[in-house]
Amino acid sequence: MLSLPLQLQPLSPPFYPANSQPKTLKPVFPKACKSQYQTERGLQFDIGDTFFRHESATGRDFGVLSAALYKQSNGSLRVLDALCGCGIRSLRYLVEAKADFVLANDANENYRGIISGNLSRISEERWVVMNSDANRVMTERYLEKDYFDLVDVDSFGSDSSFLRAAIGAVKLDGLLYITSTDGYSSGGHRPQHSLAAYGAYVRPMPYSNEVGLRMLIGGALREASVLGYHVVPLFSYYSYHGPVFRAMLQIKRGRLPDSSTYNFISHCIQCGNSQTVAWDQLGQIRCPCITNACVPNSLIVSGPLWTGPLHQASHLARMLNLAEQLGWISDGNGRNLEKLIRLMVDESDPKLPVGYIKIDEVASRAKLNSPSIGAIMNTLHEPGRIYFCGKPHLLALVMQIIDYHHHESFVTLCLLNP
């Protein structure tokens, strides 16, 4: 007589005490989400009860453009969308970036129907939906040596616990798209928290948006170094809603060659000047405005942070060209995207110092009315009237610009790092 496997053996009758009744067990099914259809870049999708923000569309545009460029350069594209929500990013990677395969994961099992429904228009051979912890999924890919060309981690808050697992799941020279929505830490209001999450003690500085990006990239660099890699930022992007800090990083073999792009930043509350401080200069930090006596508590120091370029100009130029080819610029809705990318190209100059100073603050210190941004930019870009300053003091230089517009006695300045 054949014996059945253990899991197929007939169950013996249950035993119940004399005065008890068996409980009726109701089957548990995933909660059904109500349909709420949205459209993005011509693609219709259902968000159901998932967390979704229209304002994040620009960040998704940037991710798709970088993914498509990777596919063009390498011939194939496999994407791991670790926290996919309703699956709109996965859908856009499949349709617009022409990804060969997408693993769409979200820990919430109630979202499976929404995600699968949104991806159902694509051949099932090109995608799979999982409902598991993101770290577990990425770690399993690493252990199985199943590496991806792009890992997108759209996390919430400052949950940096995903970084190491995500880096391990990316191919060498592949892309890692990371996120932070922790405006409190970037603003310097929770230095102990930023230290625990990103290894950076961040204090309040007037350019907290930039600090948030440098904190995020620096945290990824630290985790990559542990694994024997380093990262190269292709672009970084801040959006006011949330706020949201996103960075697209390329994973490279070998630790960072030197520490010139992973340092500290100091800001002087006395004059408004900011500067990069190397590790071996920590005991010698001094602001140029301090001549004879040190002004007590005038310097604020944060770090270590990424102090290199926030963007790669060549990559952004290719993104803009592709956006034009896709019709994202000429469709009447892409003007802001074009303007933003061109601004990021200007910001990618490696000669630019960290931080910035607001014109209103400069005018307030100078006790003058501030000119328009356009007037200042026109003065700076006026051909044939360039003055190079070996050790520029940002506040003094911009104050001269303001003075020029009031007294017409100024020579255009070119702000360069010493």
Query: What pLDDT is stored for residue 404 in this prediction?
Result: 45
- The answer to whether residue 22 is domain-embedded is no
Q: Do 341 and 361 sit in the same domain of this protein?
A: no
Query: What pLDDT is stored for residue 295 in this prediction?
Result: 56
Q: Do 340 and 197 sit in the same domain of this protein?
A: yes
Q: Do 176 and 113 sit in the same domain of this protein?
A: yes
Q: Do 245 and 378 sit in the same domain of this protein?
A: no
Query: What pLDDT is stored for residue 280 in this prediction?
Result: 92
Which domain covers residue 59, as residue numbers? Answer: 37-258+309-347
- The answer to whether residue 2 is domain-embedded is no
- The answer to whether residue 112 is domain-embedded is yes
- The answer to whether residue 157 is domain-embedded is yes
Query: What pLDDT is stored for residue 128 in this prediction?
Result: 98
Residue type, 38: Q
- The answer to whether residue 267 is domain-embedded is no
- The answer to whether residue 291 is domain-embedded is no
Q: Do 364 and 234 sit in the same domain of this protein?
A: no
Q: Do 366 and 244 sit in the same domain of this protein?
A: no
- The answer to whether residue 27 is domain-embedded is no
Q: Do 377 and 251 sit in the same domain of this protein?
A: no
Per-residue pLDDT in tens (0 to 9) along the chain, 418 residues? 444 443 334 433 433 344 444 444 444 444 555 678 999 999 999 999 898 888 899 999 999 999 999 999 999 999 999 999 999 999 999 999 999 999 999 999 999 999 999 999 999 999 999 999 999 999 999 999 999 999 999 988 777 899 999 999 999 999 999 999 999 999 999 999 999 999 999 999 999 999 999 999 999 999 999 999 999 999 999 998 889 999 999 999 998 877 789 999 999 888 888 999 999 999 888 887 776 555 557 899 999 999 999 999 999 999 999 999 999 986 665 568 999 999 999 999 998 889 988 878 777 777 778 777 777 777 767 765 444 443 344 445 555 554 444 433 333 233 333 2
Domain count for the chain, please give it.
2
- The answer to whether residue 26 is domain-embedded is no
Query: What pLDDT is stored for residue 283 in this prediction?
Result: 87
Q: Do 223 and 75 sit in the same domain of this protein?
A: yes
Q: Do 203 and 175 sit in the same domain of this protein?
A: yes
Q: Do 327 and 403 sit in the same domain of this protein?
A: no
Query: What pLDDT is stored for residue 286 in this prediction?
Result: 84
Q: Do 319 and 364 sit in the same domain of this protein?
A: no
Q: CATH code at 67?
A: 3.40.50.150
Query: What pLDDT is stored for residue 291 in this prediction?
Result: 61
Q: Do 338 and 409 sit in the same domain of this protein?
A: no
